[in-house]
Structure 1
Amino acid sequence: MPTLELKTNVQLKDPKAFIEEFSKLAADLLGKPISYIATSYTYNEHLAWGGTFEPAFILNIVSLDNITPESTEVYSKKLFEFFQEKLGTAGNRGYITYVDPGRPFIGHNFTTFGAIFGKK
């Protein structure tokens, strides 16, 4: 069920190709089937970082059962490298927020993951 919502001031020539690649990376990185991955890309020309409009991003990740201090170090390294390559963003021009809200707090298929997999 991971969701990855990317906002950036970098306009992509082919957002669909980027999202396909980003989705595959997310599935591999988070250890979830790609069929569970939801990604989005939002171009925001008004996203400023430090008062400038140089390439920057904000990424919010919501995922169940795999957000730990150790894992977020690994995720951050890989994601910052990916965005540096694909968006041209420097490492100090992005934030990634990681959230594991708990199974009862994610709805899916007319119920919650807490009901489907048990409350953890």
Structure 2
Amino acid sequence: MPSLELKTNAVIPDPKSFALEFSKESARILGKPEAYITVSVTPVPIMTFAGTTDPAFVLLVTSLDNINPEKNEQYSKELAAFLKKSLSLPDDRGYMQVLRVNHLITQISR
């Protein structure tokens, strides 16, 4: 049940194609079936980061089971590489939050 929420002021020429590719790459990176992946992409007209409005991002990744400090570093590097390749977003122009969701919360919310 990984969920990835991207906010960025970078230009996304084809948002639908980008979201589909982001979903596919996220499944590969997180090692989960794409059928379980949820991706949302929110264009932000104005975003500041480090005192400028140059292209930047905030990415929130939530998941069950596969979130831990060792894997988080790998996930962050691979997700940053994808954002750089697809949107020309430098990895020093954003933040990522990687959160582990509790099973109990998921079961209660059904």
The TM-score, its normalising length taken from structure 1, stands at: 0.86
What is the RMSD computed on CA atoms of the aligned residues? 1.4
Higher relative contact order (CA 8 A, sep 6+): 2
Structure 2 residue aligned with 1:17:
17
Q: Distance in 2 between matches of 1:107 and 1:26?
A: 23
> Which amino acid in the other structure matches residue 17 of structure 2?
A
Q: Distance in 2 between matches of 1:13 and 1:66?
A: 32
Structure 2 residue aligned with 1:106:
106
Structure 2 residue aligned with 1:97:
97
Structure 2 residue aligned with 1:115:
none
Secondary structure (helix, strand or coil) at the match of 2:11 reads coil
> Which amino acid in the other structure matches residue 93 of structure 2?
R
User: Which structure 1 residue ranges, 4+ long, deviate > 6 Å from structure 2?
Assistant: none
> Which amino acid in the other structure matches residue 28 of structure 1?
R
1:50 Cα offset (Å): 1.3
Q: Distance in 1 between matches of 2:107 and 2:55?
A: 34
Structure 2 residue aligned with 1:5:
5
1:53 Cα offset (Å): 1.0
Could you tell me whether the CA contact under 8 Å between 1:2 and 1:63 is conserved in 2? yes
> Which amino acid in the other structure matches residue 62 of structure 1?
T
> Which amino acid in the other structure matches residue 91 of structure 2?
G
Secondary structure (helix, strand or coil) at the match of 2:49 reads coil
Answering whether residue 49 of structure 2 is matched by residue 49 of structure 1, we say: yes
Provide structure 1 residue ranges, at least 5 long, that are not aligned to the other structure. 112-120
Sequence identity of aligned pairs in percent?
Answer: 44
Q: Distance in 1 between matches of 2:23 and 2:104?
A: 24
Q: Which has the larger radius of gyration?
A: 1
1:101 Cα offset (Å): 2.1
Q: Distance in 2 between matches of 1:44 and 1:106?
A: 29
Provide structure 2 residue ranges, at least 5 long, that are not aligned to the other structure. none
Q: Distance in 2 between matches of 1:31 and 1:91?
A: 22
Residues 30-45 of structure 1 aligned to structure 2 (within 5 Å): 30-45=30-45
